[in-house]
Amino acid sequence: MKCQDCGSTDFVKNGKNQKTQRQKYKCKNCGSDKYPIDDKTLISKPSLSEVSPMTEEQLRAKYDLSFIVQTALSQLEKGQFLNKEMLLKRCKLSASAAGVSATIHAEQFKPYRGKAKGGDIIFGHPDRIRTLIEETVLFEI
């Protein structure tokens, strides 16, 4: 092991990373904290200035249910359909999570959904959903 700051090879153990359980080290010469990323490579902990802020799109993709569902539905091509469970899986959402049911049943997603005779809610491209409702293959909900 070699300190990336001063080049020293003298280290002492300095606890473990709580998330990865990997051993951390401290340079005896300059006091720099180091931790191994593989057998013999060390890097320093990133400073706050090295951490990139989250963009609005990244924030919405992680927390905004309407954005998540809209993104998944807008990627459907004509002739592609998902039932409710498939949509939730594609969006990586749990049916029991707060607000999920209200979101997928929101008025803004009405053009993307229809109800099959068996009771399943089907999502697809708005043009195909409208055609299938007109043909009574699906029902408007």
| pLDDT computed for residue 69 by the predictor | 96
Q: b/e map of 1-12 (b: 16 or more CB within 10 Å)? A: eebeeeeeeebe
Provide the residue ranges of all domains of the chain, joining segments of one domain with +: 11-50, 56-139
The tokens describing 15, both together, are 């606890």
Residue 34 is encoded by which pair of tokens?
């180091």
Q: Are 1 and 34 in contact (CB under 8 A)?
A: yes
Residue with the larger pLDDT of the pair 33 and 106:
106
Q: What would be the CATH architecture of the domain defined by 56-139? A: Orthogonal Bundle (1.10)
Contact predicate 25/41, CB 8 Å: no
Structure confidence by residue, pLDDT tens digits, 55-112: 999 999 999 999 999 999 999 999 999 999 999 999 999 988 899 999 999 999 999 9
pLDDT band at 29; cut points 50, 70, 90 = confident
Nearest to 126 by CA among 57, 76, 85: 76
Task: For the full predicted model, state whether its pTM sits above 0.85.
Answer: no
Contact present, 82 and 43 (Cβ < 8 Å): no
Burial code of 64-86, b = ≥16 C-beta within 10 A, e = fewer?
ebebbbbebbeebeeeebbebee
